Chains A and B, each alone.
Chain A
Amino acid sequence: MRDNRIQNILRVNLSTGKTRLESIPEAWTAKYLGCRGIHSRLLFNEVPPGADPFGPDNVLYIGTGPLEGTPIGMGRLSVACKSPRGTVAEGSCGGFFGPELRRAGIDYLAIQGKADRPVYLWIHDQKSEIRDARHLWGRKINETDALLREELSDPDVQFRYIGPAGENLVHSSPIFGNRDNSGGRAGCGAVMGSKRLKAIAVRGSGGIRVADYEGFLKAYQHFRQRVGVGTSRDVWTPIWGAYGAPVIVRVFNDQGGIMTRNAQEMRWDEEKCNRISAEPYLEKYVTRAKACFCCPLPACKKQHEIRSGPFQGFRGGNLWAAIPSVFGPLLDNDDLELILVMAGMCNQFGLDVFHVAYTLAWAMECFEKGILTRADTDGLELRFGCPDKEGVLDLIRKIAMREGFGDLLARGCNEAAKMIGRGSEKFALVIKGQELEAIAQRNSYMVALGVAVSEVGPDHTRWYPPHPGHPGLLKNEDLSRLGVQLDLSKAAQGRNPEEKGKVLRWFTISRAIVESLPSCVFLVRDTLGFDLHPWHELFQTATGIRLDYSEFIRAGERVMNLDRAFLVREGFRRTDDQPPYRMATEDVPYFGFPKLDKPLFDRMLDDYYQANGWSLKTSIPRRHKLEELGLTDVVQDLEKRGMEVEP
């Protein structure tokens, strides 16, 4: 029986083949909560600066937290390590692995070393075994899932695995599970591949006991009410829980929010947007709903099938919001079926869709400008609009397999641009060496700031509120009562640099808290983005730990600071928290939104660092802030390494 206050970590050394089960200090649960929070602490403690990301000293953490296994955990799992670029690489994914791991009596896996041949890890309750995976190496995601399922026969065993892209150390590969779920796009899959770990399988037979079942039940029902599932005014369920976020391609187009042709423009043809939106997707291709563990939404995930035409017979799943945008307008492609197949290829080969989409877009712009020719692209006519569909699909395969032109693109467009030169660096849309996601920056300064400062490379999931709610719902006084000091009207003005640093700080902290419970951020709607009391009560009743609300919030701030400390220890500074070249130097055509020039950006960075208590010069957290958070050991560590920690 699991006691939710004490968290267990299974340490696996793939070099020696030894495993060891330990407990995490009990005090950590109140200080860092769990899941992502504990991973931030472990990463800082255990992966020294300068460690080779693909070497044995990099540790891959896969874990969940005290609320997982209860209905509020929603299957969330965090994967974390040092990324191939040196940044923090932390991501979360859903599915069913997390609850099963907890039921096996384990909260975290810490995998270090490197196996001498491909292996997979089999965990059954608290017993673990390292098994030969040579028969799985090279297999695509669905094949791996099917083979493991056959081998282990129990239909309730859960898996996490990598595809050929992770095995081939393709720079930004995530870890996959439950077929189409993925997490850790900053390169956790590549790190897993570098350890020759193909998969992890887990089966647990235990149960999860919460400390106060009646209290938890009440808190859970209150939570459902706040989220608004199943009420008579529930307009939200079909919007987000069924049609889903892909419909935003129609919303953002009028706001200068659609990156078109590698963000050379920010507006696409409206008819094309309609053609790739959630409405035709749901009507023509969706076959059934799928969900993560205990999700209250009907169909956040869906399975789809193409029943006619050139891609007849193709099946796949999980079309997230950004995918139509990055395989659609970014490449000037309005064929929704091609989008589904491209996303499917990425899922099958274990590739990150953003890496593939932005690198293809970069290559297309280079091709159209004559910087790349057919001699470079293995003869492929690589233009916007994807005239050679089969060629583009084969190129995706080649990226995963590092074949021919695919090998250049497998490095990501930042490295590829450095190798090609000839001015192509100007159109690599990257921050800290990692490709962007799909949210526009020059029309929303909070986004511009948020992607630039994020410690994993551009990652909107670490702060972007998916459902901010109607402006009429909250007033400044309401926020003040919650302990959040923000001027909402200024914060909501997209191109007003004021207040952005402060609002980003708040969202980063509150998101860190939700991801450290864990629970799913997609359920953070309206006032739940500012009022974390429902989460607080769920945490207390589940763990039995009484924590002041302010201490609960402080845990999120601790996690944020640990991530920043890891990043600066690897040598990143303020100069790395910058927008991509295109956004910093070009105004937006048609809308006229100005570029994110230095004075504007500096002002927002200053505000953000100031609000956080970080050095304006370097972005290193200052002593007074670290001491306030009880992170004196971090001060000592940074100073020991000769870094300047301002008072």
Chain B
Amino acid sequence: MLSLFLPLFLVFLLLGLPVFFGLIAAPGILLWLNGQERDIVLLYRNIYNGMDSFPLMAIPFFMLAGEVMNRSNITHRLVEFSQAMIGHFRGGLAHVNVLSSILFAGLSGSAVADVSALGSMLIPAMEAQGYTRKFAAAITASSSIIGPIIPPSGIMIIYAYVMGESVAALFLAGIVPGILIGVSLMLVVRVLANRYDLPAKTRRATWGERGHASLKAIWPLLTPVIILGGILGGVFTPTEAAAIAVGYSLVIGLFVMRTLKWSDLPDVMLRSGMTSAVVLLLVGAAMAFKTVASLSHTPELLASIILGLSDNPLILLFLINILLFIVGMFLDAGPAIIILGPILGPIFTSLGVDSVHFAIIMAVNLTVGLLTPPMGLVLFVTSSVSGLRVETIARATLPFLAVEVLVIFLITYIPALTLTVPRLFGFVH
């Protein structure tokens, strides 16, 4: 009977119960009906135990660092840098949009922060240069999903914690897929630019101008170097690196660029604290949920069902990608990873799929889900930033979405795209 907790959880979820309560209510009710009161205490105790974690502290810190960078107006400098480098191509500002997202991803690790920061600046600028607003909104939304794929990344930290993976390995594994999505989007822009005669910035920046733009952007651009360098060099743990990123961004904002005011800090800390609190509570509930999942032997049951469909990992990976894509349409990436990671991860690892590879397949697929209706968080934020309807943006993103789906399959079937970088650093054998 305990194995019914998963269908019951899905029913609660579809009815609209917040994920946090569903994760506790579904197993809790069945444990109660089974007369396992002591396990109910264990369920609740594990929420606390799940949250009382040092590695998990990287989440509020990276969010805070992103907020500080954002409030320090570094977005402007990143866009200027991108403009100087590639703004002269046809469809220049669209390329700038994608490159800025790649650079911003190295600071914040959040698609929503990317859309809010870059969209409010680039969508009006693109419109002023002759792009349609829906095209500008579509490329902003589509490129923002690079945020959680290139390190640092909130969802990678969550996955690593819930599944006991190395944060550094997942961070490294996300680099190539993130850049691949960026390059693919640029290729689509290139094709669309020729077909629809998209505007170009007429003058190529001189090397002097490029150097000046690089100097202005150097401080924010160094952040990912410090984070990854510190972690990979064994100098810091990921949590310490995240705290260093906060300290670094504060120094840049307050003393170097002087674009951040002391009076901004309470609001910045409040925002990151509120967002983190929701995520941490979810992770705690997920750890409790995981306990019941193992008590009920549901993963074994699901594994036998999935393996009954086919014993070919390639076919199963195809099917799981479709499942993840559908889940991503209804659920945000973080909660989806929390729920599905402990169930699907072990199945595919037992089939010989590398655990880091599977983590990236899940993370990229579910992150692309942020771009799909009816529950695409990025679509909602882009709609609020651009003033366009969600449906309009969703339709305009289709060419970009198509190429992102293609990248998901490339990542799925060419493990080297994901595993080469972590292998070079000795995280994958």
Q: Do A and B come from one complex?
A: no
List the interface of chain A (C-beta within 8 A of B): none
List the interface of chain B (C-beta within 8 A of A): none
